[in-house]
Structure formats: structure tokens, C-alpha cells
Amino acid sequence: MQSVNGAKYKEAPVTRLCDTFSLFTDQQRSPEKRGANMVPRNVSVVLVPLLLIFILAHRASSEYNNFADVPCGRRDIGTRTARLVGGQNAFPHEFPWMVSISKKGGHICGGTILNTRYILTAAHCVCSATSMVSAGQLRVSLGEYNLKGPEIPASKEERVSNIIVHPDHKCGKYVDDIALLELASPIVWSESVKPACLPVATGKPGYSAFGGELAGVAGWGWFNEDRSKYKRADVLQKVEVRVIENSVCREWYASQGKSTQVAPKQMCAGHEEGGRDSCWGDSGGPLMVGSNPRSDELMVVGIVSSGVGCARPRLPGVYTRVSEYIPWITQNVFR
């Protein structure tokens, strides 16, 4: 998934997963650079059909947070499987907590359903240059699969009544890149619309609870970081990546001449050889791991945030580490 910026947080197309073998220069990668060449990933995902199998890692514990009044992290019986295949279309409603966030009728970011009122996403998705957009400008599509085709059952568009951005987030930066969208009307649960599970707070700042695990990312982003030659996805895409310890992630970035700092509240996911990643238009979408070794339920542990290009060797995507924000999420969802 790759996120596109144009004039600082330009409206991004759709989220997509990145599966590419070609590398580009920083100039080819993105229209502008921020900080240490980090760019938001609210533009789209890059995918290359590689049929790489992603096996959900067994969790040592089934502990997770459910903010809803129904079971979380469960998928339709027809799509449930212990594996995700990288670089392919997702099944219809395979990730029923996944939403498309749009502005002026165009997809800009992904998001995750927490309960009947709240959507979890990236804070930079609601930034316009150095200020925040208004809630009235945003729409959230539930049960979305094909952005340009008919949905069966039909997707539903909801208005946003309130935007809650983490108080420490600053537009143009990617630390504390987390926000909640409050919907104007409560969500009605169905087979295609369900809540996600979130991890528990570790109480240990920077603790990598998921280091080394295989994870899945979903989105409607670009298929390649070169947006002049490739397009974004209309159909929801999925790909597998590996969660990388922050210390290793910093070393990889340094080896590529990048001064990127990965904060304890962030996490990295990708592959050392590149080839699979989130990309332009994927910002705000979920990074998921298995929540229970005895089931195929999923848990959202990261939020697509930023990165340098898409799917480049030793330049994995950077995600907001959800476990660090459980107290903040709880405080606002149940206020």
C-alpha cells in the first residue's frame, strides 16, 4: 500500500497492497519528501500476484480487547481460513471490519470498525496540509469490497459527526498517527459488517509484542509506487508481511542511507528483500495477526502510517503500534 501526497496530504486514491520487484529513486517514489523521506501511506497499495502464503502465527495468548457488543475479529464462514495469500484480491467481506474513508466522493484512506459508533484510522488521513479537515467532509463506507462495482449485500455510507485526533499528533508528522471517527448513526451488524479485535496494552513502552510474526494488510491502494504507470485497486487487496523488531527496522533504514527514526509507539512490517508492502492509499488500514492459536480470528495490531516508497528492500512500512494507545482509545470510545 502506498500513500500519495501531492501538495502535502493531497486526497489519496485507494488503499492497496504492495507486491513489487522494481525499485525507484526517492524522486520517482513520491512527489515530495517529508522529514527523513517518510511519506504517509494514504494513497494506495501495491500488489504483485506472488501467491505467497501467509500463515497466521500462533499466539501464546488469546487476550485481546473487544470494544463492541458482539464477538470481534470474526469473518464470514465462507471466507474464514488460517491463511492469507499475498498479492491477491481478498474474498468478499473477508475483513468485515475494514472500511473505506472518502472525501468529496473519492477514497482517501482505510479504517477499522471498533463498535457501532467508532472507526479507527490514521491521524494524517484527516489532515489537510497543516490543519484538520471537518467531520462533514468525510464519509465512511461499511461492507465495502469493490469501490466501482455493485456490492452484494450493498455497502452503506455513513456520515462522520466527530473527529478525535490524538492530542500529541501534528499534521505532517507520523508519530501518534492515530484518530477516531465518530459516526452520526450507529452501525447495524451483519455478515459483511463486524467489529475488529485490538491487542491488550502491554504496559511496557516500545515492547514489541508481535516481533517476528507474520501479519496481513488489506487495502485499496496502488499496485506499485510508480503511479504514472500503475493504478490503484478497485477490489480490496490483501498481502502478507512480517512484523520487524524496531531495532532491526532502524538498522535496515540506516543501511539504505535513511535517517528515519522509528519511535517506540510505532512498528515496522515488511520483508528484508522487499516485494510486499502497503502503499499509496492504504493509510489508516489495519495490520492484522491471529488473535488465538485455536481459531482463525484476527486482531488489528497496527495502523498503516508511512514509509519510504513501497516494497523496497530493507525499507519496510511503518505502522502505528495500536497496543500503545489502548488507554487513549478506551477513554474516548467509552467517554
All three cell numbers of 50: 506472488
Annotated active-site residue 255? The verdict is no
Dihedral angle over CA of 303, 308, 310, 316, nearest 10: -60
Catalytic-role residue among 93, 107, 124, 166: 124
What is the number of other CB atoms lying within 10 angstroms of the CB of residue 36?
A: 11
Say how many CA atoms lie within 13 Å of 108 toward its Cβ: 24
Do residues 78 and 311 touch, judged by C-beta distance below 8 A? no
Annotated active-site residue 168? The verdict is no
| Residue type for position 275 | G
Tell me the three state secondary structure of residue 112: strand
Of 94, 160, 95, 92, nearest to 132 by C-alpha is: 160
Annotated active-site residue 278? The verdict is no
All three cell numbers of 125: 488521513
| Phi and psi based region of residue 206 (left: phi greater than 0; alpha: psi -120 to 50; beta: remaining) | left
Query: What value, to the nearest 5°, has the Cα angle with vertex 47 and ends 229 and 238?
Result: 145
How far apart (Å, rounded) are the C-alpha atoms in residues 155 and 79?
Answer: 18
Catalytic-role residue among 3, 141, 283, 291: 283
How far apart (Å, rounded) are the C-alpha atoms in residues 203 and 158?
Answer: 35
If you count them, how many residues does the chain have? 335
Catalytic-role residue among 177, 278, 291, 323: 177
| Active centre residues (catalytic) | 124, 177, 283
